[in-house]
Amino acid sequence: MEWTPGGVSQDVEDRRGGGGFRMGGLGGPHLGIGGAVVLLILSFVFHRNLFTMFSADTSDPSSVVARDPSANLPASQDPAVQFVSFVLDDVQKTWETLLPQQASRPYRHAKLVLFTDETESGCGDAQAATGPFYCPEDEKVYIDLGFYKELSRRFGAPGEFAEAYVIAHEIGHHVQKLLGIEGGIRRAQQRDPSSQNRLSVQLELQADCFAGIWGHSTEQRKIVDNSDVQDGLRAAAAVGDDRVQKMERGRVSPETFTHGSSAQRMAAFQAGLNPGNLSSCQ
């Protein structure tokens, strides 16, 4: 992926600080899409089930993940922050153009909050173990970069494109809010609680499709090449509920899916990628 360091985005809110963070057990906090992307890719590369990292006893000091010393760097000097800033700005600039053109709606920027350990969000506590997520209440994406840096240092895999894909997916949720889709889905879930998982899958697959629309834009502008696109498709497949459940539990329970199967997620990303139109993500 071609990118040029250019400082910190005005849409980044840096709340980093504090100590290391603990990885919660699989019965505790839910592993977010960002964490799942990285862990599954690394699991395939190293032929190890790295999800076992999340079943550690959190009362054991050895389960505490050391904070990356680079978190002490000013944001303007931190390459990871510069990369995230580049991706965030690029994704939002893409939607600034596409949303008025294709949906006759203005695009309103979301903020991206960088934090360490935990922080407050409009949706409650944001914790490192949950992975990146979008909060529609305050229109902010929350990411603990220490999670990615720790995996990079320990396993030798920086996962830049995985980070980019995750940001595009989370901003996709912001686009859903601006279009009124997110609110409609939440109201439908409240009216019919039995539909909660099915509608959650619908929402997540559309965010994957919106990430594909950004992928199309970057491909057209030569920011990514075909190998990056293939990485994006593999990343979408890697975080399918079926693969995650198989690795976590050794079995698959389709009725509990909340994000969609590997095949569904890859198809959704591909639908946005070609031809890069909102109409393909309905």
Asked whether the beta carbons of 236 and 269 are under 8 A apart, the reply is yes
- Selection from 182, 142, 167, 181 nearest residue 232 by Cα: 167
Give the pLDDT of residue 55: 40
Is residue 159 included in any domain, yes or no? yes
Give the pLDDT of residue 128: 80
Number of domains in the chain: 1
Q: Which residues contact 101 (CB under 8 A, 6 or more apart)?
A: none
Whether this prediction's pTM lies above 0.75 is answered by: no
Is residue 200 included in any domain, yes or no? yes
Is residue 112 included in any domain, yes or no? yes
Tens digits of residue pLDDT in 58-74: 344 333 334 444 555 66
Give the pLDDT of residue 29: 41
Is residue 101 included in any domain, yes or no? yes
- Tokens for 261, please give them: 């199967």
Give the pLDDT of residue 127: 85
Is residue 49 included in any domain, yes or no? yes
Tens digits of residue pLDDT in 46-104: 334 444 444 434 344 333 334 444 555 666 667 888 889 999 999 999 999 999 999 99
Residue ranges making up the domain that contains 37: 12-281
Is residue 145 included in any domain, yes or no? yes
Asked whether the beta carbons of 152 and 159 are under 8 A apart, the reply is yes
Give the pLDDT of residue 97: 95
- Tokens for 37, please give them: 């992307």
Is residue 259 included in any domain, yes or no? yes
Is residue 7 included in any domain, yes or no? no
Q: Which residues contact 34 (CB under 8 A, 6 or more apart)?
A: 131, 132, 143, 147, 148, 162, 163, 166
Spans in the chain with pLDDT lower than 70: 1, 18-77, 147-160, 162, 224-248, 254-258
Q: C-alpha 130: how far from its chain's center? A: 11
